[in-house]
Amino acid sequence: MPTWRDDKLLELANQLSYSPADKRREQLRATIELLPTVDPQKSYPWDFVHFRITGFQLRAHAEHVTAGKVLRADLATLIEFLSDTLSIKVEDAIADGREDDEAAVRAPTREPIQGSAEGQARHGVPVDVVHPDVLASSVHHHQRDLRAVR
């Protein structure tokens, strides 16, 4: 059973396990994209974390804030958790995300690009492309941190 350091992420993981498989794949990809952008020295509001993973804004503002170091560890755990629910290896999930990024670069659109980084990525502009080996190393590093805490 995964070890969670933040109850909000545990609660979200439990909720995501009821999502349809296609939606969980999207949420897994969003989590993979979020992990390398989190600075361990900063704190992150729950609204931001929830939106980046699910794509949905909460109805009411949550006062909860998560330390970057804790968030990175729990995002690594969430990646493992979602991969397990989809019966895929973490490395395969990371590689699938990389293939999507490469396809976006090969087939850019001519539409004007507006809005967020997520919107830009959907329109074929690579945003914060992370090599799969680097991301896998980050996930495994946080797994070691979690084992050390136990």
Cα–Cα distance between 96 and 15 in angstroms, integer? 23
Other Cβ atoms closer than 10 A to 48: 15
Q: pLDDT tens, 10-55? A: 999 999 999 999 999 999 999 999 999 999 999 999 999 999 999 9
The token duo for 112 is 């004007």
Cα–Cα distance between 72 and 41 in angstroms, integer? 11
Q: What pLDDT is attached to residue 148?
A: 54
Total-model pTM: 0.64
